[in-house]
Amino acid sequence: MNYKQHTIKAPVTVSGIGLHTGVVSNMTFTPAPVNHGYKFQRIDLPGQPIVAADVDNVVDLSRGTTIEQNGARVNTVEHTLAALVGLEIDNVLIQLDGPEPPIMDGSSIEFVKALIEVGLQEQNALRNYFELTEGITYKDEARGVEIVGLPLNDYRLTAMVDYNSPVLGSQHASITNMNQFEREIAPCRTFCFLHELEALHKQNLIKGGNLDNAIVIVDRVVNDDELSLLAEMLNKPKVEVKETGTLNNTELRFKNEPARHKLLDLMGDLALIGRPIKGQILAARPGHAANIGFAKRIKRAIQEASIQSVPVYDEKKPPVMDINQISATLPHRYPFLLIDKIIHLDENTVTGVKNVTMNEPFFQGHFPGNPILPGVIQIEAMAQTGGILVLNTVENPEDYWTYFLGVDKCRFKRKVIPGDTIIFKCELLAPIKRGIAKMSGQAFVGGQLVMEAEMSASIVKKNA
């Protein structure tokens, strides 16, 4: 499991027809900065709008997952996203000159090959994992669907399918390490049953579907007239089948390839949560609607946790920024460089660490015989933590100054003394406008809130 974020070293393009739209498109994976996440860009549309891979942007689940934002729509995103998740790539802009990623062979393997060929690039930021601390469950009793997420210091998934079919029977598939993805999950192709094929065709779907990019499961006897109609539907001169099995007698890559593909779909759909997960996911009879319903529950848990959470400091993990990187970003120096580490940084929040020691100069006078960290020093340390967050929004942060503008609603809950480790958490209250940032800040010692405040600051380019 990677702890650092990754992107790709250079752009790479794949091309092909879309499964449902039947439109030929070119899709280019391009490198993206830290905390960018997964975003699609419709470069064929005016203004080249961007669609974030976010569960809140899901608008259709007709045999695939479709997202829409800024007036642009991207169909069938799950196979593309599964490839990124399986390779533990965090930040990519996916440029698309059509409405749907190419279906390729119906799996994720061609995307995986392209991404591996161009190479992965480690980035100087920790992955922003969401760790399940309690069970999260989604049920659809009418369909016999259940998905459960359980606490685990890793990411593992299991999918079980049961179609009451003599051809498939009950199947299950698991992934316990992402290193297995390329070999065991990525090559597994999409599938449907023969009785679904005509219905999908009437719904104006699978316009790009054929026997080279999908498996058709045949679980009943098919006569010659029906085979002729199927050949016409699939633009084939002829199709054939044994008494039961797969149309055109397509060989499965694994005995449980359908279950493995359902696992692939699950991985891709859960990518829409927007953060890598630590947990064990168990899915019985999953489908896109259930996957998205479950993903929304996890996202809601993330939102609730961000409101209530006390930052956790694990000394064994490498920091996002060490003291040398902090010094290169902030202009402060002794005795006013007050932050030792940054352990979390994303678009809206930052977490910093200050180790309080008796050697600091202010303890000579505050107070002799009863050393207490001055409140103004706590506020300044929190402001420096927030300064890192603000400077993270611009390129070349060393070219900018941040100035403290104000403090409001400041409260001190308990004293801080030498030997304490303070964890500062700052979060933007609103997007930065005209160089003005407003943040809420909290300070914790031993998991207890010791200080909180709202702050405002300005960001100004040097020599401006």
Active site residues: 288, 366
Report the C-alpha gap between 271 and 81 in whole angstroms. Answer: 6
Report the C-alpha gap between 364 and 356 in whole angstroms. Answer: 14
DSSP code of residue 237: S
Report the C-alpha gap between 282 and 9 in whole angstroms. Answer: 34
Kindly give the pairing relationship between strand 38-42 and strand 50-52. antiparallel
Q: Which of 253, 208, 203 is nearest to 104 (CA)?
A: 208
Q: Which of 32, 35, 8, 130 is nearest to 393 (CA)?
A: 35
Q: Please state, in angstroms and as integers, the Cα–Cα distance from residue 126 to each residue in 22, 47, 91, following that order.
A: 39, 32, 12
Instruction: Give the contacts of 132 (CB within 8 A, at least 6 positions apart).
Output: 149, 150, 151, 152, 277, 278, 279, 298, 301
Find out whether 29 and 9 touch, Cβ atoms under 8 Å: no
- Identify each DSSP E strand in 142-263 by its residue range: 145-150, 155-162, 170-175, 191-193, 215-218, 245-246
Find out whether 110 and 182 touch, Cβ atoms under 8 Å: no
